[in-house]
């Protein structure tokens, strides 16, 4: 079966930060996890290059529009490449292919009579690129996300009505309890649907915003950025490009959109109603996560000096430990704090847990067993129970865990727990004492085998987060690591394998 995973496409008015890095890493981790389960995965990310915010940021640049958009889009692409993100398609909304699909979609709903023109007065938040209701604002009349008062704007525009589908959407959410995950966000959406929905303004007059896709039925206007941007999810997989849409439908059937809670309404209210008008099923799942906040739980901002720069922390700790840390530390029930100090603590935890274990056991057998994996025929009940517990836990998560942050988060927790359990076992069995007593030879070998086989299981489980580390551990155990599958049978490490003590997996950082 084919699975399709998407990230939001990011605005290019600023540099990518750790939040953008996180959602894109989460998508890559989920892709690798699904591939290990045998699924074929198509993964997309990209940049959202139109609208007033991006236009304003171009105005300060002194560059040609095309060069500016490419330069800013490349900032994201280069970061994702540096992070080894295995995306299958990087969408740019300024590409002619994407723009053509936006035009097709607009024509489609226009020809169905679903678009009307009217004069409109509203409060516009440039940060959100959305009109706001007074009830969306805080007591000062500010947008709570952008801490600014929206501007009062009066203009003629084209509108796409939403209200006619409100009840359908409520029913859809109630009959598809795992559509939006975690569930608390489904409740939030039902709250948004408790009152009648305003028509969605799908155009902007060119006198105000010219950076966008021309409306095919009136070129005094460009398309509203959110209408344009959401279409990326279908333009990236060739909506209407193959006649009867067979290929498109096959990929669309299992799509998961990843996002943070900031863009829930556009994805959970506008998007399914837009898709319904286009005759396309709602996306299979929306996976929503919280925010990364600076230390002390405050929003990251340049002026406070608490912004975490993805390049800086990648240089500090390497991309793989960073991937693991982010997936492990993001709360599944709310927001999470991030700082360079917290990241260092996470790195040290990995080094003390998996890193030390691997180095200690390999050094020990290099000395006493010529580096060869010993026999496994003398394992006692405790040894077997340790391996079975670890194998069964990973097996369960890989087999039954859904495509979600919860699964990834649980898996990362269980990897650390398994590492702790094996470290505790190793300390309690004290193989360095057993090694000195020839009469305890069998016991010594059983403890070493158990530890090595547990490391093998941990190495397989950790692959989606740290593919290079995973392969390094397997190679150090003499295991061929070309293709890593979600198979967790205990005692599968071949006795006699030649192990190799390599460099530390997680070298010391200050």
Interacting residues with ligand MSP (CB under 6 A):
8-11, 19-20, 22-23, 48, 229-230, 232, 259-260, 262-263, 291-292
**Strands, sheet with 151-160, edge to edge from the N-terminal-most edge strand:** 130-132, 116-125, 151-160, 200-201
- Catalytic (active site) residue 143: yes
Exactly one of 125, 201, 327, 491 is catalytic; which is it?
A: 125
Residue pair 85/21 in contact (Cβ under 8 Å)? The answer is: no
Residue pair 283/257 in contact (Cβ under 8 Å)? The answer is: yes
Residue 266 or 368: which CB sits closer to ligand MSP?
A: 266
Question: How far is the C-alpha of 425 from the C-alpha of 453, rounded, in Å?
Answer: 13
Exactly one of 53, 98, 99, 143 is catalytic; which is it?
A: 143
Residue 9 or 317: which CB sits closer to ligand MSP?
A: 9
Residue with tokens 């556009």: 266
Residue 8 or 318: which CB sits closer to ligand MSP?
A: 8
The pair of three-digit structure tokens given for residue 92, joined into one six-digit string: 């740019």
Exactly one of 116, 117, 118, 146 is catalytic; which is it?
A: 146
Residue 23 or 407: which CB sits closer to ligand MSP?
A: 23
Question: How far is the C-alpha of 46 from the C-alpha of 92, rounded, in Å?
Answer: 6
Please name which of 215, 255, 260 lies closest in space to residue 106, comparing C-alpha atoms: 215
Question: What secondary structure does DSSP assign to 173-196, as a single string?
Answer: HHH-TTSEESHHHHHHHHHHTSSP
Residue 10 or 324: which CB sits closer to ligand MSP?
A: 10
| Residue with smallest beta-carbon separation from ligand MSP | 19
Give the nearest distance from C-beta 170 to ligand MSP in angstroms: 23
- Catalytic (active site) residue 125: yes
Give the nearest distance from C-beta 329 to ligand MSP in angstroms: 12
Question: How far is the C-alpha of 328 from the C-alpha of 475, rounded, in Å?
Answer: 25
Give the nearest distance from C-beta 281 to ligand MSP in angstroms: 18
Residue 81 vs residues 75, 170, 306, 319: alpha-carbon distances, Å: 10, 40, 25, 11
- Catalytic (active site) residue 176: no
Question: How far is the C-alpha of 505 from the C-alpha of 92, rounded, in Å?
Answer: 37
Exactly one of 3, 99, 128, 257 is catalytic; which is it?
A: 128
- Catalytic (active site) residue 491: no
Question: What secondary structure does DSSP assign to 426-491, as a single string?
Answer: HHHH-HHHHTT-GGGHHHHHHHHHHHHHHHHHHHHHTTTT-HHHHHHHHHHTT---SS------TT
Residue 451 vs residues 424, 448, 461, 487, 491: alpha-carbon distances, Å: 11, 5, 15, 18, 11
Residue 189 or 484: which CB sits closer to ligand MSP?
A: 189
Question: How far is the C-alpha of 393 from the C-alpha of 488, rounded, in Å?
Answer: 9
Question: What secondary structure does DSSP assign to 8-70, as a single string?
Answer: EEEESSS---HHHHHHHHHHHHHHHHHHHTT-EEEEEEEEE--HHHHHHHHHTT-S-HHHHHH
For residue 467, the tally of other CB atoms under 10 A from its CB is 19
Residue 32 or 257: which CB sits closer to ligand MSP?
A: 257
Give the nearest distance from C-beta 283 to ligand MSP in angstroms: 11
- Catalytic (active site) residue 183: no
Give the nearest distance from C-beta 227 to ligand MSP in angstroms: 10
- Catalytic (active site) residue 201: no
Sequence-ordered list of residues with C-beta below 8 angstroms from that of 243, at least 6 positions apart, any chain: none
Give the nearest distance from C-beta 287 to ligand MSP in angstroms: 10
- Catalytic (active site) residue 289: no
Give the nearest distance from C-beta 245 to ligand MSP in angstroms: 21
Residue 160 or 506: which CB sits closer to ligand MSP?
A: 160
Residue 70 or 257: which CB sits closer to ligand MSP?
A: 257
Q: What is the 3-state secondary structure of 393-431?
A: HHHHHHHHCCCCHHHHHHHHHHHHHHHHHHHHHHHHHCH
Exactly one of 20, 53, 99, 257 is catalytic; which is it?
A: 20
Exactly one of 2, 206, 284, 299 is catalytic; which is it?
A: 299
Give the nearest distance from C-beta 291 to ligand MSP in angstroms: 4
Residue pair 441/371 in contact (Cβ under 8 Å)? The answer is: no
Residue with tokens 């061929």: 480
Give the nearest distance from C-beta 8 to ligand MSP in angstroms: 4
Question: How far is the C-alpha of 317 from the C-alpha of 308, rounded, in Å?
Answer: 13
Q: What is the set of active-site residues?
A: 17, 20, 125, 128, 143, 146, 299, 302
């Amino acid at each position: 079966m084919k699975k399709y995973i998407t990230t939001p496409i990011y605005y290019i008015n600023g540099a990518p930060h750790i939040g953008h890095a996180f959602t894109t890493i989460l998508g890559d981790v989920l892709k690798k996890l699904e591939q290990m389960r045998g699924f074929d995965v198509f993964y997309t990310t990209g940049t959202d290059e139109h609208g007033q915010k991006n236009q304003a940021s171009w105005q300060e640049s002194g560059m040609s529009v095309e060069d500016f958009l490419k330069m800013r889009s490349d900032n994201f692409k280069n970061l994702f490449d540096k992070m080894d993100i295995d995306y299958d398609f990087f969408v740019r909304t300024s590409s002619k292919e994407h723009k053509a699909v936006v035009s097709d979609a607009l024509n489609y709903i226009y020809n169905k009579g679903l678009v009307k023109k009217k004069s409109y007065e509203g409060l516009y938040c440039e940060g959100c690129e959305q009109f706001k209701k007074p009830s969306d604002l805080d007591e000062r009349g500010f947008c709570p996300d952008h801490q600014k008062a929206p501007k009062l704007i009066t203009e003629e525009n084209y509108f796409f009505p939403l209200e006619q589908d409100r009840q359908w959407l409520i029913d859809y959410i109630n009959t598809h309890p795992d559509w939006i995950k975690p569930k608390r966000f489904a409740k939030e959406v039902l709250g948004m649907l408790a009152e009648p929905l305003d028509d969605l303004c799908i155009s902007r007059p060119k006198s105000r915003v010219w950076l966008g896709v021309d409306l095919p039925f009136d070129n005094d206007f460009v398309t509203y950025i959110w209408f344009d941007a959401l279409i990326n999810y279908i333009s990236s997989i060739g909506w209407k490009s193959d006649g009867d849409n067979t290929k498109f439908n096959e990929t669309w059937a299992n799509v998961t959109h990843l996002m943070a809670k900031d863009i829930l309404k556009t994805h959970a209210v506008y998007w399914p109603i837009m898709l319904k008008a286009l005759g396309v099923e709602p996306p299979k799942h929306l996976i929503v996560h919280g925010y990364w906040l600076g230390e002390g739980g405050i929003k990251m901002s340049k002026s406070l000096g608490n912004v975490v720069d993805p390049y800086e922390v990648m240089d500090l700790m390497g991309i793989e430990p960073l991937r693991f840390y982010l997936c492990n530390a993001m709360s599944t029930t709310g927001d999470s704090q991030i700082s360079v100090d917290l990241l260092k603590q996470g790195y040290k935890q990995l080094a003390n847990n998996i890193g030390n274990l691997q180095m200690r056991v390999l050094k020990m057998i290099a000395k006493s067993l010529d580096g060869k994996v010993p026999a496994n025929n003398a394992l006692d009940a405790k040894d077997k129970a340790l391996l079975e517990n670890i194998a069964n836990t990973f097996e369960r998560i890989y087999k039954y865990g859904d495509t979600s942050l919860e699964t990834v988060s649980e898996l990362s927790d269980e990897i650390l727990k398994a590492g702790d359990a094996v470290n505790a076992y190793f300390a309690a069995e004290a193989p360095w004492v057993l090694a000195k007593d020839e009469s305890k030879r069998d016991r010594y070998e059983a403890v070493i085998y158990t530890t090595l086989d547990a490391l093998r299981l941990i190495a397989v489980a950790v692959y989606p987060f740290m593919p290079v580390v995973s392969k390094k551990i397997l190679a150090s155990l003499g295991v061929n690591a070309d293709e890593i599958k979600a198979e967790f049978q205990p005692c599968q490490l071949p006795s006699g394998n030649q192990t190799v003590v390599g460099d530390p997996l997680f070298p010391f950082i200050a």
